[in-house]
Amino acid sequence: MPDAVAAARVAARALVESVLAPQADRPADAGVLAAIAAERRRLGLWGVTVPAEAGGRGWSWPQQAALQEECHRVPAGVWTGQALAAGEPPAPLYGAAAGVRERYLRPCLDGRRTAVQVWGADHGGIQGVWVRPARGGVVLRGHLEGVPAYAAADLVLLVLPRPEGGGLDAYLCDRDLAGFDAGPAGETMGRMRLVDLTYQDCFVPEGRVLRDCDLPARRWRANRQAAVLAAGALGAALASLEQGIAYARRRVTFGRPIGDRQAIQWMVADGAREVYGAQVLVARAAEGGGSSAEALDEAVRAKVYATEAACRILDRVIQIHGAYGYSRDLPFEGLWRELAAYRFLEGRNDELLAALAPATVSGLQL
């Protein structure tokens, strides 16, 4: 393990030990999120995704993945996942004009605002919001369904293909933008709330349009896919499977530990294979760092593989623990419900898989 990644892991473990592990498995909101933010700053874990020249710490993807994986190993880390998104503004903001940086990037780095990048068209190219050029800016119209509610809390960077073709632009959508409505937050099976974003002939002045942000927007998405969702799902699955194995050694039925039984052994072995696969794919995607088209695809593959595997592994860990696993006395059912959302965050797994299928198949050929 390179020194920088090892150091990241050490810092991440310090965060886990000081503020995440002492929490209940399902901590309550406000106070805990503030405590995590304060501790991240103290340990130098704030602004890790932001390059040094934009005012951050400029961690590599393997370092970021190590951080997320460690934090996700404790239930409170999964439960408060959004606390790790504070202070990490999306990449299209880094290279923006000075005025935009002052107004949007700086408050995000200070922790006064939270910005989130929202993909206005899915991987398959189906578009929810349309752009029409207008004098002094653009007009947006359309609807986006099921966006995490914290995205609408402060600032949405809506990424869309330019209408005349070519690259991607990002639109800075504040709460004060006329015609932009986040609607009421809908409840889900997990802690996350979802909102539907509506753009009703919403005029965005040119000063709030980030032109030609193809590369930063795509890399940011791939970064979230690989270093947050895939690495996080891996951490949660790995730690849960370890607990499942410990329980299988301890729990006795019919005079023998249940781990002696093939039914349990297969669940453990299936889980172990999938953890291994996720580790390899997360490492490949992190090392690639989104630096090429192939590296961007590899981030998608890591995301799909690790998040699907994590849900299956959590499901088996629930099963190994029996009724206790299904109950809220243990964290596993709650972790499953949280991780189920990872399967559609930053792109729905089925759509991502379908879009990548030709490239994946051709990559298998001799």
Partner 1 sequence: MDVELPAQVRRWKDRMHRFVAEELMPLEPDLPPFANRLPAEDIAALVRRMKDAGLWALAVPREFGGGGLGWVGLCALREALGHTTLCSLGKLLGAEPPVLLYDAGEDLRARYLLPTIAGERYGCFALTEPEAGSDAANLSLSAVPDGTGHYLLNGRKVFSSHADEADYALVFGVVPQGPGQAGGITLFLVDRGTPGFHWVRRIETMGGDRPSELVFENCRVPDANRLGATGKAFDLAQRWFACDRIALQPPIALGAAARSLALAQAAGVAPALELGRLALGLHAARAMLYHAAAKADRGEDVRHDASLVKATATSAALEAVERAMAWFGPRGYSRALPLERYYRDLRRFPIAAGTYEIQQFVVARGLLRGYAGLDRMAAPL
Q: Looking at the DSSP assignment, which residues form a beta bridge with residue 141?
A: 130
Measured distance CA(298)–CA(281) in Å, rounded: 8
Strands 180-181 and 256-257: unpaired
Binding window for partner 1 (CB under 8 A); candidates: 99-107, 219-227, 276-284, 343-351: 343-351
Strand partners, 133: 138
Using CB under 8 A as the binding rule, whether residue 265 contacts partner 1 is answered as no
Rounded-to-integer distance, Cα 94 and Cα 55, Å: 9
Q: CB 218: neighbour CB atoms within 10 A? A: 20
* DSSP conformational letter for 104: I
d(CA 44, CA 337): 30
348 near partner 1, rule: CB under 8 A = yes
The window from 40-48, 107-115, 125-133, 140-148 that contacts partner 1 (CB under 8 A) reads 140-148
Q: Which of 18, 60, 127, 319 binds partner 1 (CB under 8 A)?
A: 319
127 binds partner 1 (CB under 8 A): no
Q: Is 233 in the site for partner 1 (CB under 8 A)?
A: no
Residue 135 in the binding site for partner 1 (CB under 8 A): no
243 binds partner 1 (CB under 8 A): no
Q: Interaction with partner 1 in 146-185: which residues (CB under 8 A)? A: 146-147
User: What is the DSSP track for 240-286?
Assistant: HHHHHHHHHHH-EETTEEGGGSHHHHHHHHHHHHHHHHHHHHHHHHH
User: Any contact of residue 357 with partner 1 (CB under 8 A)?
Assistant: no
Instruction: Establish if 143 lies at the interface with partner 1 (CB under 8 A).
Output: no
Q: Stretches 27-35, 61-69, 239-247, 320-328: which one binds partner 1 (CB under 8 A)?
A: 320-328
**Residues within the interface to partner 1 (CB under 8 A):** 145-147, 186-190, 194, 252-254, 258, 261, 263-264, 315, 318-319, 322-323, 325-329, 333-334, 336-337, 340-341, 343-344, 348-350
